[in-house]
Structure 1
């Protein structure tokens, strides 16, 4: 019986992929669609499917949809994460046999996007009744088809092969990539996961349980059956219940992973003519709340009175956005007060909840009594909650990812909540506070008046001195001091003590004001031959930058051919010395602070200063440490002043090998702030691992390139085996590695902005698992 059924499937398979009859309409070379002039789509012979432009809001979506009434149902889209095009676009099957989307821009070059990538050229195209858009060569052989690149849907006759995935849309009307995906794994298991996970068994919320069957794939038959079959179309597993057992051309079957994470199988019955009737045939999981990450962190799913899912916060947390309850919750108290265990009972209390559990990996697990479990969580600064089951206590840190309601009546959960301490103030105390406040305000007003008078007099004196020296107007505008070459030579004792040397020149230590103020003097050696006016204009831009994570520029010298810059002196040297030449590894908390300091400095240069600045050479040697071990960026704004590296004149590349973004090697690639993001990603990984990105003297070949090794350790979940110090926060470690790998993506558009990087480091924005950067495998 099984072999007979397999034979029928084989016949059905060839029926699906037989060449289309000549009677079906062909789309010839040179045919085009426009958003402004009909036709706006190419229809299948039955008129059930259309491919082209579909109006949505003020723009258009390019894709394939069921064109009959009541509503358009999309089965495939192009440029999924940027689906909309303006009302001035065309879609063309060119004379050269390429499928091209052309966006027309006013007073600018048209943007051209190739929709289908294939070898050779097409001779014609067809929109088939199966919902498949196909390009054919001169021998009527299919060379490209939309069925090979599914988005969130497969149709009758369509396969999801090994390694294939369906990604849900973001919402009912937003077709961009959403939060869930269906994966046809290499081991033969069909699994549903949230997208921002490592696709581990812990993350799965439904599977076909057909593992250990490599080579099988999913097919939706023309009779509405979802089958897992091998390469000979022999059935391995019947995923859905049996379909209609008919192959009527009036019924179209569709399986879609929808925005709520449910995989649903539908039938569209066209017996009624121009309109179709939609019927839900099957879906998994059956219970909506079984979908992982349907509710965000620190919340759990429950069904309301209307049988609709709702998300509730765990005790001790509050909604991130009360209007978006599915976005999760965050802790509603600060952990800063959690320092002394003997004070915990006065700061926190324990709330007990029955029938709430979670599947997260516990950071602590031991056998103890129920009271002991409650007390252990209360006295532990890291504990967000504890799960007590059958004498076993499991403690969990924030965030709690996979909380759910359980039917286990014996399960108890303990959650730490902050106490509200209300202090009653006596009338006498109120009077005392008012008197002290009034006295303080009066004192502040007197102090401000005296300070204002002092500042006014000091500025008058300073103005007279500047007028006498002839530098009044320029120095006041730049808020910088113009030094003579003689002054700086004397301050540095003839440029005697060299602090370091980089590509732009050497840096010397000096002192001003009779040795009371230490300075660092950079002597620029490769300055572009330009007028003094242009040099001073660049100094004006640099001089207006003021940020705690930037090395302060104090002055300059433009005397004759000399070009010198005067900076504040950084007493603790460079980050490179701290990471690579220090016998002792810096504490983990110090490394986290340094990483955030650098990110905030770059963010200021990119987005917050008056004139945005691209550094072009972020590296540990250009990160300096002050006497309080605050990281500060140096040499910013010098990219326009320095002569480009003569070995890279074609690309005008700047920066240091190992820290340079891949786009530097591409001719005519415009420079953007994303080159600094790439360099920061390399530096971040070096800070985390306390080693250089490129290291030849290693025990294993895979450890030579840090970015490649870090990604492999992250995916294998083996970061714990590294000796990075006893105080390392493992969750923070994993997050920082993921941020670093996001920053070093080859495609600039995939790299986050520095604002996003800062928000991820501060825990404001979640960090998803990054794709493998191509350069990391080089």
Structure 2
């Protein structure tokens, strides 16, 4: 008789006694390497954990935490580990690379995807590259090159059969800083003692005000319904139909009891710190935002560990389903309307919200379509509200490789122009109905060969269209290509704003019919839409002409 639990295999044999069995062997299967091929989950030992493939323990898998990490729950080592140190990318001020060092680990690996890989790079160069990258938490090196990873880490293993060397980034200790911290702590304690009576009074006043007025949190959630967990279990039939997976959670379809029933999308957030940050960001910011090209937040659930966001349901799914080559692709008029709608949605986030909102992850999967093919921007899971009276933000949020502006990889502070770059990538994919088209020309784009790239894309557009499109349509599509390439400029200061982009796209669409031809010149130091020496002609109604460089 044999029983297999998936990790522990036991073999038993019947003895001469009918009521007893004899254990003749216990073996540990290769549980450490049993990780999902579709990259869902976090591995046997949880987030940031390491599973020991060389353990001598023959009855259970051995999980441990890397240096400067500790168990999320010491009583359950399989839940994973949390960092004991302050991660570089979450600091309020971008630190210098000299403030960090590495803890070296031999024979370890985390099998989640590397966000960057360098084939020809030695160990020293690998460390230096990671130190200069604010998003790099772990670097790995082996015979095939250098790999960079960001937190959280998944599918960790360690053992003599693992041939990778790992470097974990930690902040250097400084005796002067320790002394300064002790002084500040002592001062804070004295100040706290002196002000304790005042604090008690403030708390009492706050309690009385809370009795008669809504809390600030309630006031920042206008027209949002607070759902109970039980209501959402019923609406989703115990979370039966999965619509998709995002950075911080899974989205399920549900139906609210009404006449007729109202379809909703329920985003169930994971129980990680980043998920909590996302929850606060979305409830506080999106709850106040109303725009035709943004997915509407209907309500939320906040019951202990159950945190969920409830959105309006988009019947056509994401734009990813429609970016394809062939007879099934959308008509050009529909694609042009989608592009303009996305641009207007981003313009609203950047210029009409107070404070402005960066999305930081514009891509086809985050553009949803309703039954009338109206584009709506979704998933603000990696967004961040800009600090009031500032136009720049630190590298807190990240995007998706292939859609990320070059300033991400350079570790620079970012502006709303990172969304402009991502939109440029998305716009080309909408025009050509093809994913990854920018990656084919990224080397030319990032080496300032913009004129050559523009002409190549225009020629490719004509070849792709063939006899399928009339001359006027092709000219309009080429204008869209010009706008897209302008968004992809390496220097963020010369990219157009989303207001400029929305204006230029609207002008390129001949509604109403054009009456004259005007030319937009492009000084090299302004927020223009073309590279130096390049002029872009748009067919614009003379009565609607404006100077786009005033924004």
TM-score w.r.t. length of structure 1: 0.34
Greater C-alpha Rg: 1
Between Structure 1 and Structure 2, which shows a larger proportion of helix residues?
2
Larger RCO (CA under 8 A, 6+ residues apart): 2
